[in-house]
Structure 1
């Protein structure tokens, strides 16, 4: 599912747009994944990674790098699920084509090993419930000024334009020199087919996505109160 920055209230209801629009950032993607895993009976934890966009090892165009340097501290979000007594990191942030511009991706996942964390960072904050996670997210943005928000909106617009691979894969002009030869064989991408991964949104059709979206509860307590989200060891 393509990466797309969209600012908004980080609730479960808001996160459902990733199923109907078939694109999103780390927060809505992992909000939906956490809810779905909870509904399936898995224990879920929400992880936040304080990070700065300017510190990411992405091959930014110069104008985006300048915008990133002016941003305040942000957060990356993924989840952990308990599988056979072990906490496993699930990170579905970036599409595979973005590996060619330096993004951390997990080419294949067996459901047991940790996924690669999508960002470069030093710390992680673990939340045992969706409610705890939401309070932290609100508090972490409480110091943002209107200028910070405007700067972030400009950065988001630039990132969305830069990640123009939804229909045709990552543009050849954005491929990091030298990395192409490493990544393409790993992913089985023919040298002349930059779009061969076929990332045109999710594998569900629009009707199926809409039906799935309606099954995600809007009330954060509706899952946690059933005891399917636990603190773990």
Structure 2
């Protein structure tokens, strides 16, 4: 099946018969509810969403590439926004070992969307799945389909690679612009940065699964 047919069928499954704004709410909820996980194979604008759906979990990049694909099929124009942030400046209730690892990490770039709803570019962030709210993650539990959501991270001000001025948000007119930023950022990483990030990613994933198991036990 061609990717175009696949995404059309997916939209039919998730939002068939729903009208505006319930259609975009349904799409948002399905993507938000996919468990967040840092996945290195999901950075491509097309293969990323396909891998996200195949694996049943993914990160902010693949989630928002998928959201953009489906929103555009609903007739909603989308831009992408890369937001610089530091893992140790987030308000998550980290365990001590992760807090220590986070303090050693360089700047990362979160991805979210801006969707043209009505006459306004609305912030739409489907990053964190609902169980993570128990550990202080800014989960968007109920979106009305019209208003700004919470941003998934606390941003920081940085000078991006090969730029001259500091920013707190980089707007991409299309999804294809995001991978180049990803490559530029990673070219600045040292071997030590890569090693620390790998350790953090693994421990972070284990912690998120612990949070979800704890929520299931309480239900």
Give the TM-score category using the shorter length. 0.7 to 0.9
1:24-43 aligned within 5 A: 24-43=58-77
TM-score scaled by structure 2? 0.74
Partner SS state of residue 138, structure 2: coil
**Aligned twin of 1:138:** 183
Q: Match of 2:187, SS?
A: coil
Q: Report the counterpart of residue 54 of structure 2 in structure 1.
A: 20
Shift of the alpha carbon at 1:134? Answer: 2.3
> 3-state SS of the aligned residue for 2:209?
coil
Residue 148 of structure 1, aligned match among 184, 193, 205: 193
Unaligned runs of 5+ in 2: 1-33, 157-167
Q: Say whether the 8 Å CA contact 1:98–1:170 is kept in structure 2.
A: no
Corresponding residue number in structure 2 for 1:175 = none
Determine the C-alpha separation between the residues in 1 that align with 2:112 and 2:76: 15
Counterparts of 1:14 and 1:28, CA distance in 2 = 5
User: Alpha carbons of 1:94 and 1:165: their partners in 2 closer, same or farther (altered >3 Å)?
Assistant: farther
Say whether residues 1:160 and 2:194 are aligned partners: no
Contiguous gaps of at least 5 residues in structure 1: 173-191, 196-233
Correspondences of 1:1-233 after superposition (within 5 Å): 1-8=34-41, 10-11=43-44, 12-122=46-156, 123-164=168-209, 169=212, 171=214, 194-195=218-219
Give the drift of 1:160.
Answer: 0.7
Change in 2 beyond 3 A, CA 1:159/1:69 = same
Q: Which has the higher contact order (CA 8 A, sep 6+)?
A: 1
Separation of aligned partners in 1, 2:42 and 2:195: 16
Give yes or no for contact 2:78–2:116 (8 Å, CA) kept in 1.
yes
**Change beyond 3 A, Cα 1:165–1:63:** closer
Would the aligned equivalents of 2:82 and 2:112 in 1 still touch at CA under 8 Å? yes
Q: How large is the RMSD of aligned CA atoms in angstroms?
A: 1.9
Higher helix share: 2
Q: Deviation of residue 9 (structure 1)?
A: 6.0
Q: TM-score, normalised by structure 1?
A: 0.69
Offset at residue 165 of structure 1 (A): 5.5
Q: Contact 1:83–1:112 (CA<8 Å) still a contact in 2?
A: yes
What CA distance in whole angstroms lies between the structure 2 residues aligned with 1:115 and 1:143?
A: 31
